[in-house]
Amino acid sequence: MRPLSHRLLAEYLGSLLLAALVIGSGIAARSLSPHDIGLQLLENAAATAVGLYAIILIFGPVSGAHFNPAVSLADAALGGLAWRDVPAYAAAQITGCVSGAVLANTIFDLAPVSISTTDRATLPHGLSEVVATAGLLLVIFSLVRTGRATLAPAAVGAYIGAAYFFTSSTSFANPAITIGRVFSDTFAGIAPSSVPAYVLAQLIAVPLAVLLVRVLHPAPTTSGATVTDQLDTEGQPR
């Protein structure tokens, strides 16, 4: 396993790129298709799905490419990441997502920081976040515990791209990106008042997903329970 400092740098940079990808593609979509919100969402989802695939390939062998406190919590609960490392991972992820929002705003010549005014807190949105987050965790840890972690980059990208459309919340599924999206009053933004409901729903999904993973895959078929434990630095099974 890599030193913690290396893993935290990977989590920060990956989270930064993830937020820049989600927010930047949302800004571009609104500019390219100003009168068609469905097309805007499709453009945002497609860019996020393929971009996330690439980002996981870059950072997965270093840190496991969590970019998400919910993933780090689940990984620790399933015996992968050390519990003592979870707070540091979460801090790197949140800081990275906020930095990515600032970067995306700046890239598109907007104010570096603009607090979103998009209110998203409704009961259907909260339920959507439970479903989206639990589904994401099931995708990741079902693959990890069955020795198929090398499929995770494609599977996660595909799932998130699909979840943009089958959830009313457009599948944030990540407390760090939820916080980061506050800092951009653009297509992908979320008002600060909506954040607690989203984060609560995402955290509720963690024990549900862990329970389901343990039931469906009681014992890992390979040693370890993280992507990092199953990949070497070249991304090949050990």
pLDDT tens digits along 185-199: 999 999 999 999 999
Q: What is the pLDDT of residue 220?
A: 86
Written as one letter, the residue type at 7 is R
Segment 108-124 mean pLDDT: 96
- Which pLDDT score is estimated for 53? 97
What is the mean pLDDT of the segment spanning 1-18?
97
Query: Which CATH code fits 4-230?
Result: 1.20.1080.10
Summarised one tens digit per residue, pLDDT across range 60-92 is 999 999 999 999 999 999 999 999 999 999 999
Give the least confident one: 43-47, 78-82, 96-100, 221-225.
221-225
Average pLDDT over residues 23-49: 95
How large a percentage of the chain has pLDDT more than 70?
93
Q: Work out the pLDDT band at 219, boundaries 50, 70, 90.
A: confident
pTM metric for this prediction: 0.92
